[in-house]
Structure 1
Amino acid sequence: MNCNKAKNIDLLLYLIKNGFKPQKITGKNHWFLSPFRKEKTASFKVDTDKNTWYDFGSGHGGTIIDFLQKYYSCSISEVLNKLKENTFSFHQQKIISPHTKKGDIIKVKALQNKYLIAYLKEREINLELAKEFCFEVYYTFDSNKTYYAIGFKNDLGGFELRNQFFKGCIGRKHFTTIKRDYSTVSVFESWSDFLSYLTLKNTVPEEDFIILNSTALIKKVLEIVNQYCVVKSFFDNDESGSNTLQIIKDNTELEVFDYRYYYKNHKDLNAFLINSKMANC
């Protein structure tokens, strides 16, 4: 199995075969309830002519490879291996909306759980740098079972949560700022891209950082962005990333440096990091 063969797999048939049912059909477009969150109106589109998908709720899309990467939070090589072995298990995970306020945090501690550390290793993120900015969060949604995940704290005290099977937020959804009184700010979509940047640098550069935690929050950070002299952006190579970058450019007189050309052949900075590590093996 390689990328070209994988991209030729019929995405619509693959989804239907694995339990996803289209809610409506308009010409070449088949609309599904998004696999990435709970919703009542279908916002996940499959274009049968292009054999691609687009999720209007998150602004992400792409091929079957991109879908499986996002759905299972795994690398391209893992997607290809699992497609080859046909080992993807398409049970509908209990996905909590990234904007949910439900749930209770049981405890927060230093990052040391071996499964969470293994997840970071899979994503090639430097563990010491991750431990500097992330936590091990234990939480519950129904009081019957306690879960644990890597937690990245936002400026309102909420946590972005991530493990091998779950991506969501507990507490109020908000952005994260790391202010260290430098004149340069680097802006990221997610904490994994932020930590990938630090991993590639092998240090914490002399910069401030803004992690959006959702591109929908971009307008809320514009005032902060304009406090700096230099703005560096590290968004995803997709429509949402381009739109987010344009919003910054349209609302500042500063020059905004787009660093995506460094990883133009990859979905995002973490995908670039993973493939760079694999290439050096």
Structure 2
Amino acid sequence: MKTVQAIKCFPIRTYLTGRGLLPTKENSRYGLYLSPLREEHTPSFKVDYMQNLWYDFGLGAGGSIIDLVMRLERCDFAQAVRLLSNGERSHIPAPVSSSVSPSVTTFRTLFDMPLRHPALVGYLSSRGIKPDIAFGYCREVHYAINGREYFAVGFRNNAGGWELRSERFKGGVSPKHIMTIDNRSDTVVVFEGFMDFLSYLSMKKQLQTDAAVLNSVVNLPKAIPFLDRHTTIHAFFDNDEAGQKATADLKRLCPNSTVINRSHLYREHKDLNEYWQAKQSRQHIAPKRKRGMKM
């Protein structure tokens, strides 16, 4: 695991770019962003490139990249260090050419198309996602970082932004938002990320209720108006402190709904997708039963 000091040296600017967040104004010393921690129309989130520190003038708070991850992922210091060290949920983009100047990082979406590249279909299959499910909810998104082109699985949110995933990349294209599906049901299933949502569909085959994907628990307040309309809410959040807090917040913010915590179904795993991958793996290596044996 990387040392805390090494993690703090990772550029906040690069981290934000991986989340699809670019400065509205910048120079060689600092950049001004729309805050990733709250809704705003006038940029008041400053990143000091020289000291690698951030400050949100609207919140009156700031700090290192670890402090930022603690707020974005709603986790404690140790969890933030672990996430950044392991690359989990850190949204760090794929490496760019060393010939590109590091002073300004540019992220640009080129186009999207039906999901078809074998590398992306194979990546989803490795995560247990059935191709027919992926084709119905995902697109193939091509993008560029500092002029170098890449492609990833794209999951579009309600505001037109994208969550992007591939074997080497975890990031997004702003605006960061939730995704909802309204089937006029009085029951809704809600997930932290779209891989959990796709895993659920791969298990269930079809969606018979409404659904919501937060694309980060920090987006929970954006989903409340939709979720609060339902009599029953099934929460499939991660088995960590942030997931537990999100479930508690959901119960508090939707007092007229019955909120059912489903994380116990995959209690031995970090999230629903990890559970589904493990289950698929066990089924794959399990010996075939002899004909005539009872199930």
Give distance in 1, aligned partners of 2:90 and 2:222. 29
CA apart distance, 1:62: 8.4
Counterpart AA for 2:221: K
| Equivalence for 1:165 | 168
Aligned 1:59-138 pairs, distance under 5 A: 59=74, 61=79, 68=86, 70=88, 93=95, 103-138=107-142
TM-score (norm 1): 0.71
Contact 1:43/1:56 (CA < 8 Å) preserved in 2?
Answer: no
> Per the alignment, do residues 72 and 224 of structure 1 end up closer, same or farther by CA in structure 2, a change over 3 Å counting?
closer
CA apart distance, 1:57: 3.7
List 4+ stretches of structure 1 deviating above 3 A: 31-36, 54-57, 62-69, 91-94
SS at match of 1:149: strand
Pairs aligned (count) = 225
Give distance in 2, aligned partners of 1:177 and 1:217. 12
Show CA shifts across 1:189-222 (max 9, x none): 0000000111121x12211110001111101111
Give distance in 1, aligned partners of 2:234 and 2:160. 25
Show CA shifts across 1:72-95 (max 9, x none): 99xxxxxxxxxxxxxxxxx9846x
| Equivalence for 1:274 | 277
Give distance in 2, aligned partners of 1:124 and 1:59. 27
Aligned 1:30-45 pairs, distance under 5 A: 37-38=15-16, 40=53, 41-44=63-66
Segments of 5+ residues of structure 2 without an aligned counterpart are 17-51, 54-62, 97-105, 286-295
Contact 2:142/2:149 (CA < 8 Å) preserved in 1?
Answer: yes
> Per the alignment, do residues 57 and 181 of structure 1 end up closer, same or farther by CA in structure 2, a change over 3 Å counting?
closer
CA apart distance, 1:103: 3.3
RMSD: 3.1
Q: Is 1:242 the counterpart of 2:244 in the alignment?
A: yes
Which structure has the greater CA radius of gyration?
2
Contact 1:32/1:44 (CA < 8 Å) preserved in 2?
Answer: no
TM-score (norm 2): 0.68
Contact 1:162/1:168 (CA < 8 Å) preserved in 2?
Answer: yes
Segments of 5+ residues of structure 1 without an aligned counterpart are 1-13, 24-30, 46-53, 74-90, 95-101
Identity between Structure 1 and Structure 2 (%): 27
SS at match of 1:108: strand
| Equivalence for 1:190 | 193
